[in-house]
Amino acid sequence: MQDKWQLATKVIHAGHEHNETGALVTPLCQSATFIFDNAQQGGARFAGEEQGYIYTRLGNPTTAELERKIAVLEGSEAAAATGSGMAAVSAALLANLNCGDHLVASNAVYGCTFSLMSSLLAKFGIEVSLVNFSDKTAIIDAVRPNTKVIFCETPVNPHLDVYDLQMIAQIAKQHNLISIVDNTFMTPLLQQPIKHGIDIVIHSATKYLNGHGDVIAGVICASEQQMQVIKYEVLKDVGAVLSPHDAWLILRGLKTLDVRIERHCDNAEKVAEYLATHHKISKVYYPGLKSHPGHHLLGQQMRRAGGVIAFELNASFEQSLAFINQLSLFSIAVSLGDAESLIQHPASMTHSPYTEEQRLAAGIKDNLLRISVGLESVEDIIQALEQGLERL
């Protein structure tokens, strides 16, 4: 029966197991370690001969329920909860790359993902090529004999480019590569990359999955085989695991994900339409607009266009910052997916690890702003933007 449930039902019920207390809400198992019945049982669990909990860094009942739920929603065999979105990115890459290997990634990614790829991976002898994933030929040309992984976000942070997942999966399979997609902006309710042939899906669960701005977390979804490596050869020893309390908070937040994501999308569509007609804005990046190059993938790859919008002001760097500073209602913050509407300046904030040349090559201009459209009344959101633009 659960296989036939709609996602709106699965996001509430999937992965939940009856507990001995009969509690409706998943109990918070706030324990670092677990007691064995005897020494032999402890040894058997460490040897993998008996199932059971040992130590929360290796597994916890509350965290396990979150992992089961996200795996069902993404359509994967298994999932691993991590201490942050960047922990998810790092673990997925480190599980599949060794010294001497090569990674092909999109040239526009979250700033810390870019920093990891451009700086930290080099210390381990891993080469990285950053290319425009809108260009199929550029991706194929970047593949080398030692290429092992292909990585992208879609939609892209910060300017909402949309990449064809089936095309990326096809390239990966033709060249025997592991494909990894960051699905944070969409959530599994709007896009399920694994259904399009992608091997590994990651999320910053800090964002829409939790939805309340009070947790730092990540999730990795993959096959059981992949997950054995990710969990027990990387996360176990690196230690970037999620606390049970944070897992419990995300489980609580997920119960409203469907209604939240619909409101985010409804609001964002109206805000994008308003911004697209304003004479003080030169360009709006939102897949829900017919002018967006990836609009044709709506209905094929994405169910809706999400709640994040980027736009370029007819303004200088300094004027763009001044616009942010005097804008009412919006909070100046770099996250997304919260109830509150947020605004940030990618060039000086989330994507500051890029050099100016790298930023411009990735399409991140000095006058580009990114907003996470919140759950407030859309009339109030638009009025705040209108007043801010009038003062610009």
d(CA 47, CA 141): 45
Catalytic residue among 10, 45, 148, 207: 207
Catalytic residue among 53, 57, 232, 255: 57
Catalytic residue among 101, 182, 258, 338: 182
Catalytic residue among 10, 110, 163, 258: 110
- Indicate if 182 belongs to the active site: yes
- Indicate if 285 belongs to the active site: no
- Indicate if 207 belongs to the active site: yes
- Indicate if 57 belongs to the active site: yes
HSE-CB of 54 using CA atoms within 13 angstroms: 15
Tell me which residues are annotated as active site.
Answer: 57, 110, 182, 207
